[in-house]
Structure 1
Amino acid sequence: MSKPKRPFFSPINQRRLQNFKANKRGYWAFWVFVVLFMLTLFAEVIANDRPIVVSYKGEILFPIVVDYQEDKFGGFLAQTDYRTDYISDEINANGWMVWPPIRYSYGTVNSNIPHSAPTEPWWLMDAKDRCSAYPLGDSDPGCTLGNMNWLGTDDQARDVLARIIYGSRISILFGLALTFASAIVGVLAGAVQGYFGGRTDLIMQRFIEIWSSMPVLYILLIIAAILPPGFFILLGIMLLFSWTAFVGIVRAEFLRARNFEYVRAARALGVGNITIMWRHLLPNAMVATLTFLPFILSGSITTLTSLDFLGFGLPPGSASLGELVGQAKANLQAPWLGITAFVTLGLILSLLIFIGEAVRDAFDPRKTFG
């Protein structure tokens, strides 16, 4: 006689899922955020100054993943610029190429803009400038939508939309990495404090109080000014201070649950401390931790944007939302820069806050679906 199949979700997790779906704003915000994040993960296929596929003299090439020297197309440079008239006409005369929807990468400079940078979005330009501003070889006059700067260019003539796509990806990935690394360190510290209590809890709590009272932003600025800029260096610097946000809630949960009957029974049976902490106490503590994750993620993205805005974030030239905010401040005559930065950051942070509210409702035992 076959055993009955166990449901994929336990009854309590099914109730949490239903509560999450019941919060329509948070539920749809979650899917919008997932779709946008997945699109940014394929930024090279969406916005790139290299074709995705090239057919040249019967050979199929993939410039998006392979660096071909220019001599393959009759040139002499070490790196091929597919946007030049010579290369574009040569390939189109001997084959074809498939471009991404946006023919600019985050660092591509458009040297054919009709006036000095920053330039307005193409749909705000005069009709006579829309095609003449974006030539791409004699066989491609440039009137295709992929050649246009949909959101204009910044003060270095780089496509704003491409930088938004790449900048959003690195901001979200940075926020996710910082959030989960902080959660691991913070949950571990809070678990040790709450479970052992006594002198261990007292010493660690005094240390955290001193550590949390430091002026974090000033210390981040000083350290970032000394060390060379980089993704992982900046991640490590911010991790030094962000982990304390998780300690309090985990510590309180372990302090509350360490004297429950099932924990005392496990001790009496000889179960080790690590096993009790991992198997019996941590699942309860993770409920409160999960409700904090979206809010910590939004705070991490905001901190990275602030550091980039002040010039202490990612290396110069990197796709950065904070750098776009700085350009908007320095170019008040180009309002599209400020509007674009505001809408992008506002959308990302609002979606995360809505998701956080839905997760909080999902884990709230007082709320029931329906």
Structure 2
Amino acid sequence: MMALSPLNQRRWRNFKANRRAFWSLWIFAILFGLSLMAELLANDRPLLVKHQGEYYTPFLNFYPSTAFGDDFRTEAEYHDPVLQCLIVTGRNELCFDAPEATKAEAEEAGTVDGQPIDRGWILWALVPYSFNTIVDKPGFAPGPPDAQNWLGTDDTSRDVLARVIYGFRISVVFALIVTACTSIIGIAAGAAQGYFGGLVDLIFQRILEIWSGVPTLYVIIIMAAIVPMNFWLLTGLMVLFGWTALVGVVRAEFLRARNFEYVRAAKALGVGDSKIMFRHVLPNAMVATLTMLPFMITGAIGTLAVLDFLGYGLPSSLPSLGELTQQAKQNLQAPWLAFTAFFTFAIMLSLLVFIFEGVRDAFDPRKTFR
């Protein structure tokens, strides 16, 4: 707090006084922080393996099966019971030749033919599946929740909880990148229009009228039919057509503030236009700007979900909450898919709206919380 200016200290106190926004920030930060560590929470490769006194990190590095005593040079299949036996015991004759009862007894006793075994071990993630892991279990897919899959499996037998963790991260990162880029472009364009006015404002308004009339969804669908869609291409298209959302709000604030006395005084003192715009006028326009941010973030998340639901969003190889919603629609006999998709979107969007409501009120000089 000592590094903050008195004005920012007051804003932080106002934000903390809004208990709903403050606790929403903590909850969302924890959830988003956990999703950033998705590889440590949900992974079909072990986090750490000890074998014959050496340590391996399979979730970071590639190890062939031969590293653990198997005969194949392909990547180790850590869910294979034989490979697990090799890692734990390090004895080929025990894992390939001995019957199951002998294996279990030897592993429990820690010896084979009277010789001690250098015991190894495997440290798995909390969810031992990645977002694209096919779960090998009896029965039909989608499977209901159980001790093995806490939120069940989808129609291709992939773990739903793992896909929610990875999908949550992609949705939030996508929304934050799109919102940040569109805000920078929109604020700069709106500030130039409102501050300079005249011919600059007239030309920009005509450009906005044309650009705002472009059907964004149709353009994305056409692009998806021409070139393979990926994360960065979809992000670029969203920024390309989404920056107009803030222009009108920022333009109106700058038109109102450019004739204030402190702006005229700054001009008379020879202060540059860019310094006046972004150091003196922009802070007064931040309240109206921050009012739009929660709608932009939730709109970006909703747009991504809709595109994934329609099949024109991210590639099918990536985890997607919209694709989970589509599966819930197609598999009405599996209500756990619908409940998972609904509560994930409801919690995520509600927390974001509450947080930005608190930020908006904290920047409003007319509001003071006790």
Superposition TM-score tier, normalisation by shorter sequence: 0.7 to 0.9
**Partners in 2 of 1:244 and 1:236 — Cα distance?**
14
Residue in 2 that maps onto 1:263: 263
The residue type equivalent to 1:91 in the other structure is I
Mean alpha-carbon deviation: is it higher for 254-263 or for 202-211? 254-263
Q: Could you say if the C-alpha distance between residues 195 and 22 of structure 1 is closer, same or farther in structure 2, counting changes exceeding 3 Å?
A: same
**Partners in 2 of 1:64 and 1:17 — Cα distance?**
40
Residue in 2 that maps onto 1:55: 50
Residue segments in structure 2 that go unaligned for 5+ positions in a row:
91-119
Q: Could you say if the C-alpha distance between residues 368 and 115 of structure 1 is closer, same or farther in structure 2, counting changes exceeding 3 Å?
A: same
Residue in 1 that maps onto 2:101: none
- TM (normalized to structure 2)? 0.87
Render the CA deviation track for 1:7-56: whole Å, top value 9, x for unaligned: 43333333322322222222211111111000000000001001111111
Q: How does 1:75-224 map to 2 (within 5 A)?
A: 75-94=71-90, 95-111=120-136, 113-122=137-146, 148-224=148-224
**Partners in 1 of 2:369 and 2:143 — Cα distance?**
51
SS of the aligned residue for 1:122 comes to coil
Residue in 2 that maps onto 1:45: 40
**Partners in 2 of 1:75 and 1:93 — Cα distance?**
16
The residue type equivalent to 2:87 in the other structure is I
Are 1:282 and 2:276 counterparts? no
Render the CA deviation track for 1:177-200: whole Å, top value 9, x for unaligned: 001011111111111111111011
Residue in 2 that maps onto 1:244: 244
**Partners in 2 of 1:278 and 1:366 — Cα distance?**
21
Q: How does 1:5-24 map to 2 (within 5 A)?
A: 7-24=2-19
Residue in 1 that maps onto 2:26: 31
- Verify the 8 A CA contact 2:304 2:322 in the aligned structure 1: yes
**Partners in 2 of 1:45 and 1:338 — Cα distance?**
26
SS of the aligned residue for 1:97 comes to strand
Q: Stretches of 4+ moved more than 3 A in 1?
A: 6-12
Residue segments in structure 1 that go unaligned for 5+ positions in a row:
1-5, 124-147
The residue type equivalent to 1:44 in the other structure is E
Give the paired residue count. Answer: 340
- TM (normalized to structure 1)? 0.87
SS of the aligned residue for 2:25 comes to helix
Render the CA deviation track for 1:154-205: whole Å, top value 9, x for unaligned: 0111000000000000110001100101111111111111111101101111
**Partners in 2 of 1:120 and 1:267 — Cα distance?**
68
Identical-residue share of aligned pairs (%): 57
**Partners in 2 of 1:155 and 1:82 — Cα distance?**
24
- Verify the 8 A CA contact 2:190 2:248 in the aligned structure 1: yes
- Verify the 8 A CA contact 2:287 2:364 in the aligned structure 1: no
**Partners in 1 of 2:201 and 2:311 — Cα distance?**
39
- Verify the 8 A CA contact 1:149 1:159 in the aligned structure 2: yes
**Partners in 2 of 1:57 and 1:174 — Cα distance?**
43
What is the CA distance between 1:269 and its match in structure 2? Answer: 3.0
Residue in 2 that maps onto 1:137: none
The residue type equivalent to 1:233 in the other structure is L
Render the CA deviation track for 1:100-133: whole Å, top value 9, x for unaligned: 111000001012x22111100015xxxxxxxxxx
- Verify the 8 A CA contact 1:51 1:64 in the aligned structure 2: yes
What is the CA distance between 1:256 and its match in structure 2? Answer: 1.7
The residue type equivalent to 1:79 in the other structure is E
Residue in 1 that maps onto 2:325: 325
